[in-house]
Amino acid sequence: MKNSQLYKGSLNTIIMKLLEENGKMYGYEITQKVKAITQGELNITEGALYPALHKMEAEGILDVEMEKVDNRMRKYYKLTEAGTKETINRLSELEDFIRNMQSLVSPKPNLEF
Amino acid sequence: MKNSQLYKGSLNTIIMKLLEENGKMYGYEITQKVKAITQGELNITEGALYPALHKMEAEGILDVEMEKVDNRMRKYYKLTEAGTKETINRLSELEDFIRNMQSLVSPKPNLEF
DNA sequence: CAAATATACATAAGATTCTTATACATAACT
DNA sequence: AGTTATGTATAAGAATCTTATGTATATTTG
């Protein structure tokens, strides 16, 4: 994804959130969207992306729909019903994660005194 | 660490930040501190912690100091000079990471219109 | 007082996730 | 004609973590 190890473990959540927002997307589109949103800071590699998509499909999180555009094949992915539910959990976990990390790096002043 | 995959890759940053803040700490103390700060949400396992500490020591990020307390051994870790510099980078990366993740999950409204 | 829990460190096997490299194919640009 | 962009795919290896186990002392609890 980039040099920072921190993104490890966040790819599925990112994909699910983008699909929740955009209905359906294809792999290459996801990489470009993420690059655009993060202003080039986060580049998802194909070696990480495609296995992740395949796994989520196998798990019943995603559905696939093939489409031929400009003589090139596209595989559109969208969330299944179970995937939509799981996305809610993932986003909630992400909020907790961010909150916990912020607590760790910028501890609140002790309000008891 | 917990059930959420999101913490994967953040352990070293957490350790470094705690050591920057507290001067020196030993392994068990780190696990308890993290548990307290996150109100029990994040539990660092020994299987993750000790190899991480040993690796950072080997990389010159941490220094070790043994101490015997109550007839039990403690290994205190503290940041080396190089470790202190690296901590600044890591914390900066963490800020970027959190900012990017927030952009991805809660995209800002387009201000061009 | 015996058993369980807390304190304290350590490692090994396996799972998961990612990087790096490679592969194939078409379209567009230079 | 060659490079870049678009588009998907996989395989080998690295890195990080989980789970399980091991050792040892101190404290609490039934």
Question: How does residue B52 score in pLDDT terms, banded at 50, 70 and 90?
Answer: very high
3 state SS of B37? helix
Quick: pLDDT tens for A70-94: 888 899 999 999 999 999 999 999 9
Compute CA B50 distance to the chain's CA centroid, rounded to the nearest angstrom: 12
Q: Residue A32 corresponds to which tokens in the numbers above?
A: 């470009």
Q: Mind listing the pLDDT tens digit for each residue in B54-113?
A: 999 999 999 999 999 988 999 999 999 999 999 999 999 999 999 999 999 886 665 555
Half-sphere exposure of A12 (CA within 13 A, CB side): 23
Q: Which of B42, B94, B102 sits opposite A100 (nearest CB)?
A: B42
Class of domain B5-105: mainly alpha
Which tokens hold the place of B73? 């051994």
Interatomic CA distance for residues A61 and A87, integer angstroms? 9
Domain spans of chain A, in order of start:
5-104
What is the per-residue pLDDT across A30-56, written as a single tens digit (0 to 9) for each? 999 999 999 999 999 999 999 999 999
Name B78's Cβ contacts closer than 8 Å, sequence gap at least 6: B19, B23, B24, B25, B62, B63, B65
Partner-chain contact B5 A9, CB within 8 Å: yes
B45 touches strand D (CB under 7 A): yes
Number of helices (H), then strands (E), in chain A: 4, 3
Q: Which nucleotide is nearest to B2 (CA to C1')?
A: D18
Question: How many alpha carbons lie under 13 Å from residue A109 in its C-beta half-sphere?
Answer: 2
Q: Domain A5-104: state its class.
A: mainly alpha
What Å value separates CA A92 and C1' C5? Answer: 33
Cα first-last separation, chain A: 44
Residue B66, both tokens: 């043994």
